[in-house]
A and B are shown apart, each in its own frame.
Chain A
Amino acid sequence: MCGIAGIIHKGKRANVGGEMTAMLQALKHRGPDSTGYAVYSEGSDPLDYVMRIKVAEEEDRRAGQGFHAMVAERVARVDRILDEHGAEVKSKEAPLEYALRYVVRHDGDTAAMAAHIEEDRGTEILSMGNRLELIKDLGDATTVASAYGLDRFQGTHGIGHTRMATESDVDIKSAHPYWAFPYNDISVVHNGQITNYWLMRREMERRGHRFMSNCDSELLAVYTAHNLANGMSLEESLRRSIEEIDGVFTYLVATRDQLGMAKDTMAAKPLVLYESDDLIAMASEEVAIRAILPQEIDTTDPYDEEVRVWQA
């Protein structure tokens, strides 16, 4: 079933981490397997990048002996590659042993550096960007938020997801949001099923894009990244997806300063929308919007083939 939510403040920053946590916790019943956040700060120096990586899955820990050594080895490898590419590590935190947050200063080809880091299949960059922080792990919203210290995150906008695994496994690599590798600051959450996934995936792979999971939602991130890299606007990409992607879906895309939504031709997956002058909030269910706006408000359901984009 899955739950998705998004929020965008126009021209101001707020406690987006706390707001997204409240919204996603209200959607827990739509998907208790994993929770993910893509939240956006106002950004700092354009050469400073926040990189979130994971170097292991829960199943690796369960495998037993050698876990700590394996994690340490993979982290050391990432450090070496950053150094090779001339990236200066400004800070390095490990909220969890296998999930790290780097702030690096890099004046070069971030895509080549990201591809190098991901040559090891056990290491995945969850996100890289000037503003984006992507956090996802198993458990409900409050569990993930408190483990990663997310409930005080100040920013302009964010999207999030509570996952009920249907098409692929319960693990971090199948959890949303997806970062549009290797394009900075773009993330996607999705509720639905994509029925021409393999066809589209092969098409994207022929064009040189990489897939880390077998989750159909990852396709939307890759597809969006491909379109934006080819000069399309976010709105054009969302509109084209309704023509080219088959299945039932409602998905949200966030970029460094925009948030967009698209709904398939059958309007089979829900989304409730609240719009005011300075705040736009959307979620699979009204109950999530009420978690941050308890007062009486007017909300609407976007229709079939509806595409919207908002500016932060």
Chain B
Amino acid sequence: MAGVSDAELRNMTQDERARALGMMTEQLTGKSLYVEFDPEAEERLAYPWAPDVDFNKRTEIDCDGKTTTEVNARIRELMAEGYGTIVLQNPRGKHSLGVGILSRLNLIIEGSTGYFAAGLIDGPNVHIRGRVGWSCGENMMAGTIVVDKNAGSTFGAAIRGGDLVCRGSVGSRTGIDMKGGTIIVGGDTGALSGFMMQRGRLVVCGNAGKNLGDSMYDGMIFVGGQIKSLGVDAVEAELTELDRKWLTRKLTQYGLMPEKGVDHFTKIVAGKQLWNYDNLEPTEKKLIL
């Protein structure tokens, strides 16, 4: 892929572009789609059209009187002008602020947002100095989101990478369907957190609601407080030395390290009795459940 220009990439089909960027896709006749990476290909971490921004170049957007679309479009214009630190003033609960940013940026939101804040991002560092509504950081690929106050339900639904942190408490179904990355909650989380999670780590410093980790395939959940109940196929596991080190590092990084350390955390993993990838007949499955 070395030597392929941005202009050439723009004129390619999605399949050609994927191959030029080192991803070989193979459509199987079965259920799944294989995506392989070519180890020989040159590493390219940014999208080809990512603007070259300077973090020391700072500006503000006043969200009052603007629609979400206008604010998000303005963020892109400012990034194209090289601004690397953008502050959103007066968000007042607007939905979908800061979504779909696919390159490096410091985005600071001075207040509270509605649904889907900073969803679908791949790279920026987002700091929300207020509360977020439902589905904050949904489907994020990389980067960090730090929320200073509380968050709504489905916090970090289906995230694939990056760190998503809420210093307060969050609603229900936190980390539902997560496929990677880290979600850290400073307070409590509601029912069905980690529901159907496949990879990644969910850390809850406070209490967790009922059905924690229900139907999880894989991944890890760490809870510092009480767990109301575990979901189907979620089981307790031993906290390893590696887990302690990882928890200490992550919680210290975000200023959420408990005074008493991390030894009291309970670790929850998948019991793997409910996988669809096994050879059990439905009647045998019933015996297990």
Question: Residues on A close to B: CB < 8 A?
Answer: 265-268, 270, 272, 285-290, 294, 296-301, 303-304
Contact = CB atoms under 8 A, between A and B. Distances in A.
Nearest to A29: B95
B171 A267 contact: yes
B190 A267 contact: yes
14 contacts: A266-B191, A267-B191, A285-B115, A286-B113, A286-B131, A287-B92, A287-B94, A287-B114, A290-B93, A290-B112, A299-B112, A299-B150, A303-B171, A304-B172
Contacts of B114: 285-287
B111 A296 contact: yes
Contact of B190 (A272, A288, A298, A301): A301
Residue among A285, A289, A294, A304 with the most chain B CB within 10 A?
Answer: A304
Interface string B74-110: 0000000000000000101111000000000000000
Given A266-B192, A299-B150, A300-B169, 19 more contacts: A265-B191, A266-B172, A267-B173, A267-B190, A268-B172, A270-B152, A285-B114, A285-B133, A286-B131, A290-B112, A296-B111, A296-B112, A297-B112, A299-B131, A300-B150, A301-B170, A301-B172, A301-B190, A303-B190
Contacts of B93: 285-290
A299 to B, nearest CB: 5
> Does more than half of chain B's interface fall in helix, strand or loop, or is it mixed?
loop
Interface of B: 90, 92-95, 111-115, 130-131, 133-134, 149-153, 169-173, 190-192, 209-210
Nearest to B133: A286
A266 to B, nearest CB: 7
A11 B222 CA distance: 44
B25 to A, nearest CB: 36
Nearest to B64: A294
A79 to B, nearest CB: 46
A298 B132 CA distance: 11
A301 B153 contact: yes
A267 B133 contact: no
Given A303-B172, A304-B209, A290 B92 contact: yes
A145 B149 CA distance: 34
Nearest to B189: A303
> Does more than half of chain A's interface fall in helix, strand or loop, or is it mixed?
loop
A306 to B, nearest CB: 9
B95 A287 contact: yes
Given A287-B94, A304-B191, A267 B153 contact: yes
Contact of A303 (B134, B151, B191): B191
A272 B169 CA distance: 13
Nearest to B94: A287
A6 B90 CA distance: 23
Nearest to B115: A285
A270 B111 contact: no
Nearest to B171: A301
A113 B55 CA distance: 72
A187 to B, nearest CB: 26
Contacts of A294: 90, 92
Contacts of A288: 93
A21 to B, nearest CB: 17
A252 to B, nearest CB: 18
Contact of A298 (B131, B192, B209): B131
Contacts of B190: 267, 301, 303-304
Contact of B134 (A270, A289, A297): A270
Contacts of B170: 301
Contacts of B95: 285, 287
B209 to A, nearest CB: 6
Contacts of A290: 92-93, 112
B152 A272 contact: yes
Contacts of B130: 296
Nearest to B191: A304
B210 to A, nearest CB: 7
Nearest to B92: A290
B101 to A, nearest CB: 21
Contacts of A297: 112
Q: Which 6 A-B pairs have the closest CB atoms?
A: A287-B93, A286-B93, A301-B171, A267-B172, A290-B93, A290-B92
Nearest to A26: B93
Contacts of A287: 92-95, 114
Contacts of B92: 287, 290, 294
A168 to B, nearest CB: 26
A289 B210 CA distance: 29
A265 B173 CA distance: 12
A299 B169 CA distance: 10
Nearest to A285: B114
Contacts of B173: 267
A301 B152 contact: yes
Contacts of A298: 131, 149-150
Contacts of A296: 111-112, 130
A252 B136 CA distance: 26
Contacts of A268: 172
Contacts of B153: 267, 270, 301
Contacts of A303: 171-172, 190-191, 209
